[in-house]
A and B are shown apart, each in its own frame.
Chain A
Amino acid sequence: MPLIFYMLALVAVVSALMVVTRPNAVHSAMWLVLTFFAVAGLYILQGAEYIAAVQVLVYAGGIMVLFLFVIMLVNLEQVDGFVRSRMRLSGAVVLAGLMLVSVGAAFRLAGVTQVVPLPDGGLPGSLAGPGEPSLAAGNLEVVGTILLTSYLLPFELVSVVLLVAVVGAIVLARREA
């Protein structure tokens, strides 16, 4: 198991690096798809196969296709100048360093020392309330049950937010008001 984890993690990190270093936007997008797949593999290792499938379906199959669509429509020229600008490069390095430090600090403050697979018996205590189904019942059932009981209000609010976004897009796209 640890070997598979490290292989997937390596693929995820390397392809993520490729995403930000490729001068060609389409190549970046392709590497990003590979990153999504590696992360989906990590989800499966954690026993979250539903999240893995949705990750591939939504991010790789949906959102990245739209990304590519936009990249092709606006026909991005290769952005060599952007990468070569020393000011921007050093700014990006500083930001990335800050990000790394803050993620590390978050882990340290939360007392997380190692990442372990979820126990077979059920969700960690913070997620599974009393009477909620355990992971053994299968991902799909657990996610569905929790979303429509404990997290019903946030779930419905998110759908309203999405509806607002759809309406906003239609308003922007319509020619005459």
Chain B
Amino acid sequence: METQMFITILISVVQISIVLSLVALSVPLLILMERKVIGFMQSRIGPKRVGPSGMLQTIADGLKLLLKEDIIPDRADKWVFRLAPMIVLVPAFVAFAVVPFSGTGLNVFGQRITPWVTDLNIGILFIIAISSVGVFGIILGGWASNSKYPLLGALRSAAQMVSYEVPLGLALVGGLMWAGTASMVGIVEAQREAHLWFFIPQVVGTVIYFMAGVAETNRAPFDLAEAETELVSGFHTEYSGMRFGLYFIAEYANMLIVAAVATTMFFGGWLRPFPNVSWLAFLDIFNFILPGQWGPFMSGLMWVIIKVSCFIFLYYWIRATFPRYRYDQLMSIGWKWLLPLALANIMGTGALLLWLGQTG
């Protein structure tokens, strides 16, 4: 009994370490991808000096941030200033606890290892609740700097993130109604049973969710919290060295979370396209390459990574395409368009499900 409990805890620790390092290690990759993609879209080359075609650029940047002096402004609230980057980073990583990375687990040394850290029955609520805490890091960081531009950035960010949390949550409700469960694994299983990705009946919900998600992560064109033409660089103006780096990592981790939730909720998670059409089974290529349990595991992981990457690419595409919104435009989009649309989407979904007789 004692050893079984010890093994269970050990497995959890291993799972958590793998997920954490995967997320942390993908951040340099995402930054490199962003610079390359946006460079390509703007007819530039992007980073190319460090390593083969600039592959090591972000590692060099990371090292530089680590080695830089950690400057804390003289009049800053020192404790809050130190704490704020951590408050942003921790929720961004904790949210990955319920993200399913693949469909089938692995048996290693006779122990079952699931491809998710835990499967809560309130999974999606957990992610929304935990992510809503991250905004404190931005507000407190801006306030603790004791400087006007960070404070303005923090105030903007507070209003923006609270506003867009509402359509973000409501857009997910439509998908939840189709799934009939809030568990992240259960949502994907529901899509397997329904033979369709919930993107198809929830086009409106998906679009609203992703727009609100872009705003929630403070990315262009909703990056008013750090509008460099007006606010130097917003809430993290006074941050230097790795404390600034933590804000940076948290931003990319949050983008990954938004993409992972969209993948799970609307795009079938680890399922291949048209999971019920049997002649498309060849798409799960790892099933034929790898032996036994590793095949389905790697196929599922591949689909999750492909889908998440598409959303990340969409982030970059949007950033390269749209100019930044004005603040009043931002508020009217959120409250006058996204919110009523999301409510209408819920009503429409309810009516449709009632009509289809699937209300159970």
**Which residues, 170 to 212 on B, are CB-close (under 8 Å) to A?**
182
Residue A97 at the chain B interface, CB threshold 8 Å: no
B159 in the interface (beta carbon within 8 A): yes
Residue of B nearest to A66 (CB): B162
The answer to whether A72 has its CB under 8 Å from any CB of chain B is: yes
Partner of A62, one of B77, B120, B121, B162: B162
Residue pair A69, B155 in contact (C-beta under 8 Å) = yes
* A30 at the B interface (CB under 8 A): yes
Q: Does B86 contact A (CB under 8 A)?
A: no
Distance in angstroms from B117 CB to nearest chain A CB is 16
Residues from chain A with Cβ under 8 Å of B182 in the complex: 140
In angstroms, Cα B158 to Cα A64, docked, is 10
Q: Give 1 or 0 for each of A39-62: 1 = CB within 8 Å of chain B CB.
A: 000000000011001101100111
Q: Name A60's closest neighbour in chain B (CB-CB).
A: B133
Asked whether, in the complex, the Cβ of B129 is within 8 Å of the Cβ of A26, the reply is no
Query: Once the chains bind, are A53 and B126 in contact (CB under 8 Å)?
Result: yes
Q: Are B154 and A72 in contact (CB under 8 A)?
A: yes
Closest to B132 in A: A61
A61→B135 contact, CB < 8 A:
yes
Q: Does B80 contact A (CB under 8 A)?
A: yes
In contact, A61 and B165 (Cβ under 8 angstroms): yes
Interchain CB contact under 8 A, B122 and A140: yes
A33 CA to B135 CA, complexed, in Å: 12
Given the known interface contacts A49-B121, A65-B139, the answer about A56 and B129 at a Cβ–Cβ threshold of 8 Å is yes
Contacts of B133 in A (CB 8 A): 33, 56, 60-61
Contact B165 A49 (CB under 8 A): no
CB-based contact A26/B151 at 8 Å: no
Does A139 sit at the interface, judged by CB under 8 A?
yes
Does any Cβ of B come within 8 Å of A138's Cβ?
A: yes
- Complex Cα distance A56/B128, Å? 9
Residues A50 and B122 in contact in the complex (CB < 8 Å), given A56-B132, A61-B165, A69-B159:
yes
Bound-complex Cα distance A22 to B128 (A): 30
Cβ contact within 8 Å between B132 and A26: no
B224 to chain A, nearest CB (A): 15
Which chain B residues border A50 with CB–CB below 8 Å?
A: 122, 125
CB–CB A68/B158 < 8 A: yes
Report the interface size class on chain B.
20 to 34
Residues of A within 8 A of B128 (CB): 53, 57
Q: Which B102-156 residues have C-beta < 8 A from chain A?
A: 120-122, 125-126, 128-133, 135-136, 139-140, 143, 151, 154-155
Q: A26 with B140: in contact, given A65-B162, A69-B158, A72-B154 (CB under 8 Å)?
A: yes
A27 at the interface (CB under 8 A from B): yes
Which of the residues B80, B135, B155 comes within 8 Å of A26, measured between beta carbons? Answer: B80
Contact call A54/B125, Cβ cutoff below 8 A? yes
Give Cα A171–Cα B346 distance, bound, in whole angstroms.
Answer: 28
Q: Is A73 an interface residue (CB 8 A)?
A: yes
Q: How far is the CA of A139 from the CA of B123 in the complex (A)?
A: 12
> Which of A27, A57, A65 interacts with B125 by CB under 8 Å?
A57
Q: B87-100, CB under 8 A of A: which get 1 and which 0?
A: 00000000000000
Q: Does B312 contact A (CB under 8 A)?
A: no
**Complex: A61 Cα to B158 Cα, angstroms:** 10
Q: Are B120 and A49 neighbours in the complex by a CB distance under 8 Å?
A: yes
* CA of A56 to CA of B129, assembled, Å: 6
For B128, give the chain A residue with the smallest CB separation. A57
Chain B residue at minimal CB-CB distance from A33: B136
Q: Is B342 an interface residue (CB 8 A)?
A: no
**Docked CA distance A27–B136 (Å):** 12
Given A27-B80, A30-B80, A140-B121, decide whether A73 and B132 contact each other with a Cβ distance below 8 A.
Answer: no
Distance from A155 Cβ to chain B, minimum over Cβ atoms (Å): 16
Residues of B within 8 A of A56 (CB): 129-130, 132-133
- With a cutoff of 8 Å between Cβ atoms, the chain A residues found around residue B165 in the complex are 61-62
Contact of A30 with B140 at beta-carbon distance under 8 Å, contacts A69-B155, A140-B121 already known: yes
User: Which chain A residue lies CB-closest to B176?
Assistant: A140
**Can you list 5 A-B contacts (CB < 8 A)?**
A53-B128, A54-B129, A57-B129, A65-B158, A65-B161
> 8 closest Cβ contacts across the A-B interface?
A61-B132, A57-B129, A56-B129, A53-B125, A53-B129, A69-B158, A53-B122, A138-B121
Extra 14 A-B pairs, beta carbons < 8 Å, given A53-B128, A68-B158:
A30-B140, A49-B121, A54-B129, A56-B129, A56-B130, A62-B162, A65-B135, A65-B162, A68-B139, A69-B155, A69-B162, A72-B154, A72-B155, A139-B121
**Chain A residues at the B interface, C-beta cutoff of 8 Å:** 24, 26-27, 30, 33, 49-50, 53-54, 56-57, 60-62, 64-66, 68-69, 72-73, 138-140
